[in-house]
């Protein structure tokens, strides 16, 4: 198994391993984390996408700092040998002092190795700089930033026109300057994702942004198809866990409904 990454190995990854994609998956619970801990996965993200896939919310706007602490610490208890990144949720970093306090609490209580936050406005840059100076590694996230879904007017590919492409490139460079150790590019037009990747010294991790970023991230529930609905089109599931689990439970229910057969079925399953 691979040795756990550090912010230093992640930075040098960019120069050394041009053909070795940095692989990140989301994770939200202890048991899945302990399974991922036994794989060669590079990075675990406790994304606020847990609002959608674990808690059943329509958007990530409803996720709280308490939620991120609960799930983030569960994941870290299971994945002791992985570099774990936890999302700062919506509304916890709208001003400087609040953002500092939220990030410190999240970092301390989850024991994660880094936090991630969405955006590249001046107040984000200022916060990132201060966190990094105080020992909290930060992963950036630009392009489609789901916490701003209402403000952006839905989910769509970013950087298609010159103006937004320029803003994204500038944002990426400013985030690097502020000190992020890595940058998520979500639904960024793929030529632009490549350009940003080439322009940066830190690794980029793409989702729905083509394959020329330094790494890729997927929501594990999409990859395994754990939900009822079809995953986004950039994710080809490797399984259909929803159907698989449903069938296993249905078989179990059939086999054990008749009380006289309970003992027999239990023997069979052991």
Taking CB under 6 A as the binding criterion, the range among 5-13, 44-52, 102-110, 125-133 that sits at the site for ligand KIV is 44-52
Q: E strands of 99-197, at which residues?
A: 114-116, 138-143, 182-186
Nearer to ligand KIV, 30 or 255 (CB): 30
Torsion of CA 210, 55, 105, 132, to 10 degrees: 0
What residue has token string 């966190």?
131
Nearer to ligand KIV, 45 or 75 (CB): 45
Q: Of residues 38, 105, 170, 186, which has the active-site annotation?
A: 186
CB 218 within 8 A of CB 25: yes
Over its C-alpha atoms, the chain yields an Rg (Å, rounded) of 20
Decide if residue 180 touches ligand KIV (CB under 6 A).
no
| Sole binder of ligand KIV in the list 7, 32, 49, 92 (CB under 6 A) | 49
255 is catalytic: no
What φ, ψ does residue 24 adopt, rounded to 5°? -125, 140
Residue nearest to ligand KIV (CB): 47
Decide if residue 22 touches ligand KIV (CB under 6 A).
no
Decide if residue 26 touches ligand KIV (CB under 6 A).
yes
Taking CB under 6 A as the binding criterion, the range among 47-55, 73-81, 95-103, 158-166 that sits at the site for ligand KIV is 47-55
Other Cβ atoms within 10 Å of 104 Cβ, number: 15
The token pair that represents 102 in the structure block: 């939220």
Decide if residue 209 touches ligand KIV (CB under 6 A).
no
Taking CB under 6 A as the binding criterion, the range among 40-48, 98-106, 171-179, 256-264 that sits at the site for ligand KIV is 40-48
CB 138 within 8 A of CB 147: no
The token pair that represents 28 in the structure block: 């939200």
CA distance 70 to 74: 6
Q: What distances in angstroms separate CA 84 from CA 115, 169, 206, one per listed residue?
A: 8, 26, 17
CA distance 162 to 165: 5
Task: Provide the minimum distance between the beta carbon of 219 and ligand KIV in the complex, in angstroms, as a whole number.
Answer: 5
| Sole binder of ligand KIV in the list 219, 220, 224, 226 (CB under 6 A) | 219
| Sole binder of ligand KIV in the list 37, 42, 67, 87 (CB under 6 A) | 87
| Sole binder of ligand KIV in the list 33, 36, 47, 137 (CB under 6 A) | 47
- Of the candidates 173, 111, 167, the one whose C-alpha atom is nearest the C-alpha of residue 143 is 167
Decide if residue 217 touches ligand KIV (CB under 6 A).
yes
Decide if residue 127 touches ligand KIV (CB under 6 A).
no
Task: Provide the minimum distance between the beta carbon of 247 and ligand KIV in the complex, in angstroms, as a whole number.
Answer: 28
CA distance 249 to 102: 41
Where along the sequence are the contacts to ligand KIV (CB under 6 A)?
Answer: 26, 45, 47-49, 87, 141, 184, 186, 207, 217, 219
Active site residues: 186
């Amino acid at each position: 198994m691979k040795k756990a990454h550090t912010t230093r190995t992640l930075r040098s990854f960019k120069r050394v391993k041009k053909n070795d994609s940095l692989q990140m998956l989301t994770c939200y619970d202890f048991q899945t984390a302990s399974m991922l801990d036994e794989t060669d996965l590079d990075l675990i993200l406790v994304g606020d996408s847990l609002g959608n896939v674990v808690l059943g919310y329509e958007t990530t706007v409803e996720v709280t700092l308490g939620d991120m602490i609960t799930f983030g610490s569960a994941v870290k208890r299971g994945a002791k040998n992985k570099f774990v990144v936890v999302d700062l949720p919506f509304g916890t970093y709208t001003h400087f002092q609040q953002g500092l306090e939220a990030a410190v609490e999240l970092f301390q209580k989850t024991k994660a190795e880094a936090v991630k936050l969405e955006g590249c406005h001046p107040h984000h840059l200022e916060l990132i700089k201060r966190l990094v100076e105080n020992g909290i590694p930060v992963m950036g996230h630009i392009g489609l930033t789901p916490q701003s879904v209402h403000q952006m007017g839905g989910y769509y590919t970013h950087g298609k026109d010159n103006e937004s492409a320029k803003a994204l490139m500038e944002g990426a460079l400013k985030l690097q300057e502020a000190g992020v150790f890595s940058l998520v590019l979500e639904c960024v037009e793929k030529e632009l994702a490549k350009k940003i990747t080439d322009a940066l010294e830190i690794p980029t991790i793409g989702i729905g942004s083509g394959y020329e970023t330094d790494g890729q991230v997927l929501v594990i529930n999409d990859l395994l198809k754990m939900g009822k609905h079809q995953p986004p089109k950039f994710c080809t599931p490797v399984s259909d866990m929803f159907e698989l689990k449903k069938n296993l439970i249905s078989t179990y229910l059939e086999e054990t409904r008749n009380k006289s057969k309970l003992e027999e079925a239990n023997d069979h399953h052991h």
